[in-house]
Structure 1
Amino acid sequence: GTPTASDVTSTSVTLGWAAATDNVGVTGYDVVRVSGGQRTVVASSTSTSVTVTGLTPGTSYTFAVRARDAAGNVSPLSGTVAVTTSGGQGGADCAVDYRVAGSWPGGFQGEVVVTNTGSSPVTNWSLGWTFPGNQTVTGLWGGGVSQSGNTVTVTAPSWATTLAPNASASLGFLADWSGSNPAPTSFTLNGSPCTVD
């Protein structure tokens, strides 16, 4: 099955997946890093989980899993999971407060406050989150915004590119939604996970 990620650190990630069934019997699994057209086996396991180590801080990776059986057959690759390791240049401890300031049929106004809870300034900061529903940002003030699918990336405004320790940046946006409007449950600042207030 498609792997899921947990325990993401600056240099490692734990991946888990559902067991495969095979008429010969599965003997193990390969974890494959997918990068463009390249497929690289980065770990192997006889169980349905493995910790991939040796990763680079503040870097995005895409992983998939394939099963092996006693006859040497290899299954097609599973679906992929995207992981961004913590840390890296400008990585920071951070906290985010997200709220819906107002809503109407098919649209809403959202507010996000991000606070640098670390001890070092974060320069050229970028805040990211993924909407759980069908929400699309139509306008934002307090930064630049781009959206790919459900993933939103907000870049620092030109007048406030540095977030000092204990400093906060406030963002407001307008968005469309359909079906439901659940709040994002995770945010990243320069690739590092933030706590959500």
Structure 2
Amino acid sequence: VQVTVQPLIADEPATGGCTATYRPVSSWNGGFQAEIDVTAGSSAIKGWTVTWTWANGQQVSSYWSSTVTTSGSTVTARNVAYNGSLAAGGKTSFGFVASSSGTNTAPTPTCTPTV
């Protein structure tokens, strides 16, 4: 099984919204660790929801600094009490460990703010 770590992928900046940037941390045979940076746009936000879809059957097995739910290949991560409120331009991050078999294509996360 070969795991390929892809470069940083970010959604398009949203004025007044938020962006999410995928950042691979490490990989090993059958799994990997990654983090996603969440950055507020030109206005403060009260919370955030980040979603992405896996292309190759990856599965999140553990996570931190967010709550994570999955439905098929779609993953939804939401802020926790201590990292949802961000000032304009403010940044936080959350991470996870996931399993993979074969090509580990990096997802393109999208961020939806709670204002």
Query: What is the SS of the residue equivalent to 2:105?
Result: coil
Q: 2:62 aligned with 1:139, yes or no? A: yes
Question: Conserved in 1, the CA contact under 8 Å of 2:20 and 2:50?
Answer: no
Counterpart for residue 189 of structure 1: 111
Between the aligned partners of 1:121 and 1:148, the Cα distance in structure 2 is 29
Unaligned runs of 5+ in 1: 1-86, 192-197
Unaligned runs of 5+ in 2: 1-13
Counterpart for residue 36 of structure 2: 112
Equivalent AA in structure 2 for residue 114 of structure 1: V
Question: Conserved in 2, the CA contact under 8 Å of 1:125 and 1:163?
Answer: no
Query: What is the SS of the residue equivalent to 1:122?
Result: coil
Counterpart for residue 166 of structure 1: 89
Counterpart for residue 98 of structure 2: 175
Pick from 85, 96, 101: which aligns with 2:25?
101
Counterpart for residue 84 of structure 1: none
- Select the structure with the greater relative contact order (CA < 8 A; seq sep ≥ 6): 2
Superposition map of 1:10-159 within 5 A = 92-117=16-41, 119-159=42-82
Regions of 4+ moved over 4 Å: none
CA distance 1:123–1:99, shift in 2 (3 Å): same
Equivalent AA in structure 1 for residue 111 of structure 2: L
Q: Which has the larger radius of gyration?
A: 1
Question: Conserved in 2, the CA contact under 8 Å of 1:135 and 1:181?
Answer: yes
Between the aligned partners of 1:179 and 1:157, the Cα distance in structure 2 is 32
1:71-104 deviation per Cα after TM superposition (whole angstroms, max 9, x unaligned): xxxxxxxxxxxxxxxx9xxx94333321221111
Between the aligned partners of 1:92 and 1:157, the Cα distance in structure 2 is 21
Equivalent AA in structure 1 for residue 22 of structure 2: Y
Equivalent AA in structure 1 for residue 35 of structure 2: E
CA distance 1:167–1:121, shift in 2 (3 Å): same
**1:167 Cα offset (Å):** 0.6
The aligned length equals 100
TM-score by length of 1: 0.47
TM-score by length of 2: 0.76
Identity of aligned residues (%): 39
Between the aligned partners of 2:16 and 2:71, the Cα distance in structure 1 is 24
Counterpart for residue 9 of structure 2: none
